[in-house]
Structure 1
């Protein structure tokens, strides 16, 4: 059973993370399914917008740590990389609809979207450093550009949660929308985009993404360091502590 539900309706692809019993934690299969759905619309000539959202009480709790830990040194890299490349290269506008939790890649993927709407209760967290890891998906490049170096340092070096108000203040969100109205707001934005001329829509997005080469280079550099960090003692200790539901041993987390 796929935990990614896709639907194309009236020239809009909707991707729904549908693993609500696990807070939409992402597995390798889910990453690949999302990548496949984005790649499939590249040359279809009709899809003009994409919506990404989560089922249940949150957007996503990030990577499924159990699935990640089982894969060893190559944990989720091929499938995650496929999704990252597909989203970053998507030629039509992408709208993210966020609520509840947006952990790890649940936050970093927003940097590659064109519109981001979140409910007031949404909590964002970039926990990489707390797992002995480093930022991914060009977040170490894009966050300072969006929020400034000081705020990006706070989010990435402390790894503490922050709310929708702060995310909006520092440019991560298009708007904060009440839960009861967010579906309508996202659909209205999609409808407005679909009504635009295809050539102008795609080319305007392309012009806005003029630093794609720098983003791609940063993604690759982060991946190399991420893999190195994954094999070090701090990450192994953090993962083992999580899986065994015990406190981290500070002597091993160095």
Structure 2
């Protein structure tokens, strides 16, 4: 922030081929991510933003409209534009990717491993992973973060023999996509997703930093390699007030 309360920024690229409104949106989103919780949630007026970036108010309005569509800000008639609490837009299509979904919405993704336990697979986990009941699996608990704010608490089961160091690799890589890439798995897809709403437990509420009893959206998901081999089974609790899901229709088969 500058001494007069305006957010700092640099000149826009006028000849780089990126629309000015998109550059303004990107700069504002980046600055919003770095804001402290105590800062005024109100953004400067459109006129001040237009002067700062050297653009017209229509360009600023288009940038703010885009940020509003992403859930980053909201405009209140007669009051101005305000920063929203973290809101994640997540696709439940064939290839959901936590990090990519957040980056597309101008959010900084992160993941913190809470613990990892080697255990015999129960019937549910074994069935999803295509293993015999009792086969050793690794259960990894982790928090998914958006701009440092917890948005989901997940338990992911992997075959222990196949991914013996998954917890350390996930901590180092920050995502399951990059963890799988370490094992030469460059592509995978979502085979099934089951979604239900329920009340958060006390532990979930504490870890997700939300009031006890506030709802979570719980998903059960199975990821598989392109040939259909089970890869991971996950049960995830999402903070309902910080996420909305888009369910994508399956891609139409190619014409013969």
TM-score by length of 1: 0.24
Specify the structure having the higher radius of gyration (Cα). Answer: 2
Name the one with the larger strand percent.
2
TM-score (norm 2): 0.24
**Structure with the higher fraction of residues in helix conformation:** 1
